[in-house]
């Protein structure tokens, strides 16, 4: 599982011109990709790590200040463009695997106490954000790696 997390002043996601999720105050924009083999351990790790990551101002985490999160599914995080001019998506899990994992991460964040806004899985989305910093980090948990 891979997440690209941006510290933002505000962010929103629209589908067909309609805003489906938005945070209107400082928080985190989370792009989430799922790969083959991701399971409950990866869901739990990504949710806990995202919620507790001290990347907001004054080295605070979203959990410290109750900052909102906008979580957007993004299979392209597992694109591979090392060869040729067209990326491959072989490492991205198919929808029947990745959609439940995406939902599980969002649900796990809510269970931890997060205010979570979402995109629409599989939709053609437009994401708008005002980055703060800019500050962006990548989290990744390989389902084949030993737990830490």
Residues annotated catalytic, as ranges: 74-76
What gap in Å lies between CA 140 and CA 146, rounded to an integer? 13
Q: List the one residue out of 67, 79, 83, 78 whose CA is nearest residue 135.
A: 67
Q: Judge whether 68 and 61 are in contact, CB under 8 Å.
A: no
66-75 burial: b if 16+ Cβ within 10 Å, else e: ebbbbbbbbb
Nearby residues of 84 by Cβ (< 8 Å), 6 or more positions away: none
From start to end of the chain, where are the E strands?
Answer: 2-15, 18-23, 27-33, 69-73, 116-118, 125-140
3-state secondary structure of 16: coil
């Amino acid at each position: 599982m891979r997440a690209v997390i941006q510290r933002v002043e505000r962010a929103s996601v629209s589908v067909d011109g309609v805003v489906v999720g938005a945070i209107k105050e400082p928080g985190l924009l989370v792009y989430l990709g799922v790969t083959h083999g991701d399971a409950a351990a990866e869901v739990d790790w990504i949710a806990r790590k995202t919620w507790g990551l001290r990347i907001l101002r004054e080295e605070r985490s979203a959990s410290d200040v109750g900052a909102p999160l906008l979580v957007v599914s993004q299979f392209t995080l597992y694109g591979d463009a090392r060869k040729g001019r067209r990326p491959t998506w072989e490492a991205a899990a198919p929808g029947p695997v990745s959609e439940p994992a995406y939902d599980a991460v969002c649900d796990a964040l809510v269970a931890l106490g997060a205010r979570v806004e979402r995109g629409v899985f599989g939709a053609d989305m437009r994401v708008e954000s005002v980055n703060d910093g800019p500050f962006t980090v990548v989290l990744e948990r390989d389902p084949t790696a030993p737990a830490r």
